[in-house]
Chain A
Amino acid sequence: SAVISQKPSRDICQRGTSLTIQCQVDSQVTMMFWYRQQPGQSLTLIATANQGSEATYESGFVIDKFPISRPNLTFSTLTVSNMSPEDSSIYLCSVGMGGSTDTQYFGPGTRLTVL
Chain B
Amino acid sequence: AQKVTQAQTEISVVEKEDVTLDCVYETRDTTYYLFWYKQPPSGELVFLIRRNSFDEQNEISGRYSWNFQKSTSSFNFTITASQVVDSAVYFCALSEEGNKLSFGAGTTVTVRA
7 contacts between A and B (CB under 8 A): A31-B99, A43-B101, A43-B103, A48-B100, A100-B97, A104-B101, A106-B47
* A101-B33, A103-B35, A103-B50 given; A109·B43 CB < 8 A: yes
User: What is the total number of residues of chain B having a CB less than 8 Å from a CB of chain A?
Assistant: 23
- Contacts A42-B91, A43-B91 given; indicate if A104 touches B99 (C-beta within 8 A): yes
Whether A108 contacts B50 by the Cβ 8 Å rule is no
**CB pair B100 A45 closer than 8 Å:** yes
Residues in B lying within 8 Å of A, measured CB to CB: 31, 33, 35, 37, 42-47, 50, 52, 91, 95, 97-101, 103-106
Q: Are A100 and B99 neighbours in the complex by a CB distance under 8 Å?
A: yes
List chain B residues, Cβ under 8 A from A109: 43-45
Count residues of A near B (Cβ-Cβ below 8 Å).
Answer: 26
- Complex interface: chain A residues within 8 A of B44 (CB): 106-109
B47 touches A105 (CB 8 A): yes
Q: Output the least CB separation between A38 and chain B (Å).
A: 12
| Interface of chain A residues 33 through 50 with chain B (CB within 8 A) | 33, 41-45, 48
Q: Which residues of B contact A101 (CB under 8 A)?
A: 31, 33, 52, 95, 99
A18 to B100, CA, bound (A): 27
